[in-house]
Amino acid sequence: MSGAQIIDGKQVAQQVRGRVAEEVAALKRDHGVTPGLTVVLVGENPASQVYVRNKSRQTEAAGMVSTMHKLPAETSEADLLALVADLNEDPSVHGILVQLPLPEQIDETRVIEAISPAKDVDGFHPENVGRVATGAGGIAPCTPLGCVILAKTVQPDLTGMEAVIVGRSNIVGKPLAQLLLKENCTVTIAHSRTRDLPEVTRRADLLLAAVGRAEMVRGDWVKPGATVIDVGINRLEPQPGEEKGRLVGDVAFEEAREVASAITPVPGGVGPMTIACLLANTVNAARAING
Ligand code: GUN
């Protein structure tokens, strides 16, 4: 079969942002509250600067207040923790996002644990991780949320599906497993040390790749008719005549699209969903705090 349905993450993200903007307007009208998202960026990581700029622009476009703290690369952990403590107390701030990675003198775990769980719109705080795992509310991380929304655009009810996640990170693989369990999937978390990985991925009705290895998942790793969600964003080495290398996912797209029934592209798949879900987490946090 040629020509899987290409899942348009840009379009779905736009719909999510539209809903967020309506909720922001309702919160302003009914409660006089304008949700505020504060992003903290330490150092000059160029990829982080691009992400952060996009986040600010989209936050404002949804009618929320975006603030940014740019700190020098040599910022001490104590100074960053003091800023987080101030933001935790600031009633105009409903979401706090400390951009990762942090410089090596700063312990990321300590910073994540210092953020008030109610304002932890990344969903990285152990209290939110635990709440999401037990089903006791909590804020779920943005990228896994985006993956589930995209999967449900082709299969509104995921009940009973064999879901295989390749990748076991705290930010994507593990929380994605929790969200898919909640959707009644049978979930396998595979990873780089899984024995006979292609054999495992071929069982998947829903295959989600989040390993950070360019085009690792080949076409013959995909079960015919599967839905494939590709979380990876990898830049290849530039080829002759290219200024920059191409962006590719963790899935060999051209091969997989011949086998799958639906697949997300890279770019334009999961990527745009992450910020859209961050905005959704922020308006939800504002409503939970003030609504
Ligand atoms: N760096 C890359 N992605 C993310 C993210 O989703 N949240 C944070 N805090 N940092 C990141």
> 264 with 197, same domain?
yes
Q: Classify residue 59: in a domain, yes or no.
A: yes
- Distance from Cα 100 to the centre of ligand 1, integer Å: 5
Question: Considering 117, 133, 164, which residue would you say is the last residue of a domain?
Answer: 117
What pLDDT, in 10s, does the model give residues 49-76?
Answer: 888 999 999 999 999 999 999 999 999 9
Is the C-beta atom of 100 inside 6 A of ligand 1? Answer: yes
SS3 118: helix
Using 50, 70 and 90 to split pLDDT, how confident is the model at 46?
Answer: confident
What pLDDT, in 10s, does the model give residues 133-175?
Answer: 999 999 999 999 999 999 999 999 999 999 999 999 999 999 9
Q: Classify residue 4: in a domain, yes or no.
A: no
Question: Considering 117, 150, 169, which residue would you say is the last residue of a domain?
Answer: 117
Is the C-beta atom of 120 inside 6 A of ligand 1? Answer: no
Element (H, E) at 229: strand 227-230
Residues of the chain above pLDDT 90, percent = 96
> 225 with 189, same domain?
yes
Question: Considering 82, 117, 152, which residue would you say is the last residue of a domain?
Answer: 117
Q: Which residues are catalytic?
A: 55, 99, 122
Is the C-beta atom of 142 inside 6 A of ligand 1? Answer: yes
**In terms of Cα–Cα distance, which of 133, 223, 221 is closest to 180?**
133
> 148 with 98, same domain?
no
- Distance from Cα 220 to the centre of ligand 1, integer Å: 32
Angle between helices 9-31 and 46-61 (to 10 degrees): 50
| C-alpha to C-alpha distance for 223 and 235, rounded to whole angstroms | 26
Is the C-beta atom of 275 inside 6 A of ligand 1? Answer: no
> 146 with 263, same domain?
yes
Q: CA dist 124 to 140, 151, 159, 235, Å? A: 8, 22, 26, 26
| C-alpha to C-alpha distance for 168 and 128, rounded to whole angstroms | 18
Using 50, 70 and 90 to split pLDDT, how confident is the model at 2?
Answer: low
Q: Whose CA is nearest to atom 9 of ligand 1?
A: 99
SS3 44: coil
What pLDDT, in 10s, does the model give residues 99-143?
Answer: 999 999 999 999 999 999 999 999 999 999 999 999 999 999 999
> 150 with 50, same domain?
no
What pLDDT, in 10s, does the model give residues 227-279?
Answer: 999 999 999 999 999 999 999 999 999 999 999 999 999 999 999 999 999 99
Q: Give the CATH number of the domain where residue 56 resides.
A: 3.40.50.10860
Q: Classify residue 12: in a domain, yes or no.
A: no
**In terms of Cα–Cα distance, which of 2, 71, 9, 1 is closest to 271?**
9
pLDDT at 1 over 80: no
pLDDT at 6 over 80: yes
Q: Classify residue 75: in a domain, yes or no.
A: yes
> 161 with 55, same domain?
no
Residue numbers of the domain that contains 112: 32-117
pLDDT of res. 95: 98
Q: Classify residue 247: in a domain, yes or no.
A: yes
Computed over every residue of the chain, the mean pLDDT equals 97
Q: Residue 207 has which token pair? A: 């295959």
> 91 with 157, same domain?
no
pLDDT of res. 291: 73
> 246 with 184, same domain?
yes
pLDDT of res. 127: 98
pLDDT of res. 50: 87
Residues 6+ apart with CB under 8 A from 18: none
Q: Classify residue 170: in a domain, yes or no.
A: yes
Q: Classify residue 1: in a domain, yes or no.
A: no
Domain count, the chain: 2
> 179 with 225, same domain?
yes
SS3 167: coil
- Distance from Cα 181 to the centre of ligand 1, integer Å: 24
Q: Classify residue 211: in a domain, yes or no.
A: yes
Q: Give the CATH number of the domain where residue 204 resides.
A: 3.40.50.720
> 199 with 263, same domain?
yes
| C-alpha to C-alpha distance for 222 and 183, rounded to whole angstroms | 21
| C-alpha to C-alpha distance for 23 and 33, rounded to whole angstroms | 11
> 110 with 207, same domain?
no
Is the distance from CB of 209 to CB of 232 less than 8 angstroms? yes
> 105 with 147, same domain?
no
